[in-house]
Amino acid sequence: MQIERELDRYMEIAADTLGIAQTKVETAIAETVTSKRRSPVARAAIDLFRPAKRGGNGRIVPKGAPEIPSEVVASFPDDVMLAELEESTEIERFDDAVVEIRATDRDAAERGWAGRLISGSVKTKRLPLKLYPTVDRDRLATRDQVRVEAIVESRLARISHR
């Protein structure tokens, strides 16, 4: 309920800013965010809410827009819950693991990082890493391995038969 109220408030702001009816904004979003685009949009939402949610009572203060209050952040599902909604995604949490750093890119947290996860009997191959936004990339790049909380997300490949 909290999220729906905030969404409606932001839709009103978008409509006022653009000088068009709110229904036109909603229609444009519905036409743009097709089923193929839902996953990237959901991930962007998760990336937006994750740092505030991680703190437990965080809020989001966008530049030039009203604050998203802590009650709304608290009601936002976490990334594991959202990923579980996708049929083709499997999620595994590791509360205490080691990542061996294999590739670094100090300029980008979204790409260029790779590592191997080790936790108990689980040892992965080299996998791409997506760093939490507050991670100090320069400091991390100096390490060979780090102790982490990690989420490994696996997507089943869709095979087309022709």
Report domain extents, the chain: 2-85, 90-154
User: For residue 82, what pLDDT band results from cuts at 50, 70 and 90?
Assistant: low
Spatial contact of 12 and 22, defined as CB atoms under 8 Å apart: yes
Residue 59: closest CA among 43, 47, 75, 71? 71
95-99, 123-127, 152-156: range with lowest mean pLDDT? 152-156
pLDDT in tens, 33-80: 887 777 778 777 777 777 777 665 678 888 888 888 888 888 777 655
Neighbours of 105 (CB within 10 A): 15
Res. 134: pLDDT tops 80: no
Q: pLDDT higher for 40 or 158?
A: 40
Q: Which token pair is 148?
A: 């982490």
pLDDT above 70: residue 141: yes
Three-state SS annotation for the chain: CHHHHHHHHHHHHHHHHHCCCHHHHHHHHHHHCCHHHHHHHHHHHHHHHHHHHHCCCCCECCCCCCCECHHHHHHCCCHHHHHHHCCCEEEEEEEEEEEEEEECCCCCCCCCCEEEEEECCEECCCEECCCCCCCCHHHHCCCCEEEEEEEEEEECCCCCCC
The chain-wide mean pLDDT, for the chain, equals 81
**Per-residue model confidence (pLDDT) at position 149:** 85
Look at residue 142 in the predicted model and tell me its pLDDT: 93
Region 102-123 average pLDDT? 86
What pTM, to 2 d.p., does this model score? 0.46
At 86, the pLDDT band (50, 70, 90 cuts) reads: low
In percent, how much of the chain has pLDDT > 70?
A: 83
